[in-house]
Amino acid sequence: MAPPAPEAPENSSHTATVAGVPVDTRHWIGGRRVASASGATFTDDSPLDGTPLAEIARGGAEEARAAVAAAREAFPGWAATPPTERARLLHAVADGVEARTEDLAAVETADNGALLRSHRRGVMPRVAHNLRYFADRLLALAHDDFETRGHTNHVSWDPAGPAVLITPWNAPLMLASWKTGPALAAGSTVVLKPSEWTPLTASLFADIAHEAGLPAGVFNVVQGYGAEAGAPLVADPGVRRISFTGSVPTARRIAATAAERLVPCSFELGGKSPLLVFADADPELAADLAVEQFDNAGQVCLAATRILVEESARDAFLGHILDRVTKLTQGDPRDEATDVGPNIHPRHVERVDGFVRRALDAGAKAVIGGGPNTALGGNYYLPTLLTDVDQDSEIVQEEVFGPVLTLQTFPDGDEDEAVRLANGTRFGLAATLATGDRERAARVSARLVAGTVWVNCFFVRDLSAPFGGSRDSGIGREGGDWSFDFYCDLKNTVTAPMGPPLLERSRELGEGRARHG
């Protein structure tokens, strides 16, 4: 068991009480709490009502260097730690997450505005599940040996080195565990930079990991802005892997920096996913799938925000979805009855509303919503559905990342046009398909450009499956063994036959290869 972390005094300026939970606002570097060398902080506001939650240590180049140095120093020991022990420690961290589910859920709801009931029942249990899955997968990681002209090939996964993990604000701890779990299981050490809009549960997670016995320097947290903390982290020569979830422009900058040192990157970026609804689909199911896209106030990269409906099914579909949206309750995410909470930040609400206003000015019609929820004020935006939009319009082509859907139609029976519209953006993260025809489902799914295709369902994700995007939606795949392929250096060891008679035969084989090139 690791020694107790340095405790901040109860009334320390380094501790904020959020939803009744004490949260240390300093970085976690090398197994201890570290204030920013400059003394600078930034304010973390709650999306619920805009009130300040905490003053967070604002990291920069010095904290980035220190965190990577700590990860480098800890790497040899962690890489040499037997897989069974690494797995045990990850299970211990998962135990800690489960023990603090209520605290984590309450803090994350205050920090990012997602539903408290979802955090309690789904998100935080998934955090623990992510850690347990990769711990168990590590112990099952294997490739069958194979023979080549009498020689044995043995494939192994060697820990790659310190990994910088940069996570977004829409599912802060869940996405952090999705990256941290496989990186630590693989034997790599980690520097996590959470979003400046949602840093709090990353700090709690550092406490949990420490209490579980994770060695100093194996897991580090640097808080701050991308330009000040993220940029020096990805540029540090000690970093051997970079995993980033966020925007396409930021990913391009990271990729350019990483390219100078040939550091492998994994990017999960934006989406503009389609929901294709054929006339033979179950209309109730299709409407349910559409309404699911308002989950987390539309702040989900996988959301199928472009609804493409077969013309003959349009009116019935609209009737069903209108009925469902009118039954949604928008309000305080801490209330069990709430279905749609606030968006993350006033600047983000302005961005979402800008997309909608420009679409309306261009001729779109809002059949549902169309602006902020003035009754609630603040960061609440009405669930919105826009019709009369063109395929090449901004609202169809660009990711809004809010509770805004568009509806287009395609001619009856015209799968080619449905696929053309579905594939008609620069993104390719996911696609959802509603149909009652099994053969059509197979035909259309095969033609969709997407990392994940859901047929008559949505957001069913198994950690054994590859996850990632095509086109501008990302680079690489994670999940299952694909995560270990990323966070490790794969090695193939080729062993010649042993013993004098076999050694002579091995030389003969070698001479034969030399003669024949």
Q: Which residues contact 151 (CB under 8 A, 6 or more apart)?
A: 494, 495, 496, 497, 506, 509
Burial (CB count within 10 angstroms: exposed 0-12, middle 13-18, buried 19+), residue 514: exposed
| Residue 429 neighbours by CB distance under 10 Å | 27
Is the per-residue pLDDT at 80 higher than 70?
yes
Q: Are 290 and 456 in contact (CB under 8 A)?
A: no
Say whether 457 is catalytic: no
370 assigned to some structural domain? yes
Q: Within 260-297, where are the H helices?
A: 283-292
463 assigned to some structural domain? no
Residue position matching structure tokens 């990913």: 251
pLDDT band at 510 (very low <50, low <70, confident <90, very high): low
Residue 13 is predicted with a pLDDT of 81
338 and 485 in a single domain? The answer is: no
- Using only C-alpha atoms, the chain has a radius of gyration, in whole angstroms, of 25
Q: What is the CATH number of the domain that holds 281?
A: 3.40.309.10
Kindly name the residue from 108, 196, 228, 268 that is annotated as catalytic: 268
Is the per-residue pLDDT at 3 higher than 90?
no
Q: Which residues contact 244 (CB under 8 A, 6 or more apart)?
A: 165, 166, 250, 251, 254, 265, 266, 267, 268
Residue 229 is predicted with a pLDDT of 98
Q: Are 38 and 228 in contact (CB under 8 A)?
A: no
102 assigned to some structural domain? yes
168 and 314 in a single domain? The answer is: no
* 339-102-15 Cα angle (round to 5): 110
Read off the pLDDT of each residue in 19-33 and give the average, rounded to a whole number: 97
Read off the pLDDT of each residue in 359-376 and give the average, rounded to a whole number: 97
218 and 340 in a single domain? The answer is: no
118 and 234 in a single domain? The answer is: yes
Bridge-based pairing state of the strands 274-277 and 219-221 = unpaired
Say whether 268 is catalytic: yes
pLDDT band at 506 (very low <50, low <70, confident <90, very high): low
480 and 442 in a single domain? The answer is: no
d(CA 288, CA 286): 5
Read off the pLDDT of each residue in 11-21 and give the average, rounded to a whole number: 87
Is the per-residue pLDDT at 501 higher than 70?
no
pLDDT band at 499 (very low <50, low <70, confident <90, very high): confident
Burial (CB count within 10 angstroms: exposed 0-12, middle 13-18, buried 19+), residue 316: middle
Domain ends where: 455, 482, 511? 455
C-alpha dihedral (384, 389, 390, 394), degrees to nearest 10: -40
Is the per-residue pLDDT at 290 higher than 60?
yes
Residue 503 is predicted with a pLDDT of 53
515 assigned to some structural domain? no
d(CA 167, CA 192): 8
d(CA 50, CA 37): 28
Q: Which residues contact 503 (CB under 8 A, 6 or more apart)?
A: 496, 497
d(CA 39, CA 354): 36
97 assigned to some structural domain? yes
pLDDT digits (tens, 9 = 90+) for 418-476: 999 999 999 999 999 999 999 999 999 999 999 999 999 999 999 999 999 999 999 99
pLDDT digits (tens, 9 = 90+) for 134-167: 999 999 999 999 999 999 999 999 999 999 999 9
Q: Check the CA dihedral 296-241-41-17 and report its sign.
A: positive
20 and 157 in a single domain? The answer is: yes
Is the per-residue pLDDT at 7 higher than 80?
no
DSSP state of 9: P
258 and 377 in a single domain? The answer is: no
Read off the pLDDT of each residue in 158-187 and give the average, rounded to a whole number: 97
pLDDT digits (tens, 9 = 90+) for 236-266: 999 999 999 999 999 999 999 999 999 999 9
161 and 72 in a single domain? The answer is: yes
Q: Which residues contact 266 (CB under 8 A, 6 or more apart)?
A: 241, 242, 243, 244, 468, 474, 475, 476, 478, 486
Q: What is the CATH number of the domain that holds 96?
A: 3.40.605.10
| Residue 469 neighbours by CB distance under 10 Å | 26
Q: Which residues contact 351 (CB under 8 A, 6 or more apart)?
A: 400, 401, 402
Is the per-residue pLDDT at 517 higher than 50?
no
Q: Are 387 and 364 in contact (CB under 8 A)?
A: yes
Q: Check the CA dihedral 368-373-376-378 and report its sign.
A: positive
Write down the mean pLDDT value for the chain: 94
- Within 13 Å of residue 489, how many CA atoms lie on the same side as its CB? 12
Structural domain total, the chain: 2
Kindly name the residue from 108, 228, 301, 310 that is annotated as catalytic: 301
pLDDT digits (tens, 9 = 90+) for 84-136: 999 999 999 999 999 999 999 999 999 999 999 999 999 999 999 999 999 99
442 assigned to some structural domain? yes
Residue 6 is predicted with a pLDDT of 40
Residue position matching structure tokens 């240390």: 24
pLDDT band at 406 (very low <50, low <70, confident <90, very high): very high
Residue 148 is predicted with a pLDDT of 94
Straight-line distance from the first to the last Cα atom of the chain, in angstroms, rounded to the nearest whole number: 57
57 and 144 in a single domain? The answer is: yes
Q: Which domain range does residue 284 map to?
A: 274-455
290 and 335 in a single domain? The answer is: yes
344 and 483 in a single domain? The answer is: no
pLDDT digits (tens, 9 = 90+) for 373-392: 999 999 999 999 999 999 99
Domain ends where: 455, 482, 500? 455
258: region left, alpha or beta (phi > 0 left; psi from -120 to 50 alpha): alpha
Q: Are 381 and 330 in contact (CB under 8 A)?
A: no
247 and 364 in a single domain? The answer is: no
Q: Are 341 and 114 in contact (CB under 8 A)?
A: yes
251 assigned to some structural domain? yes
Is the per-residue pLDDT at 511 higher than 80?
no
d(CA 214, CA 81): 11
369 assigned to some structural domain? yes
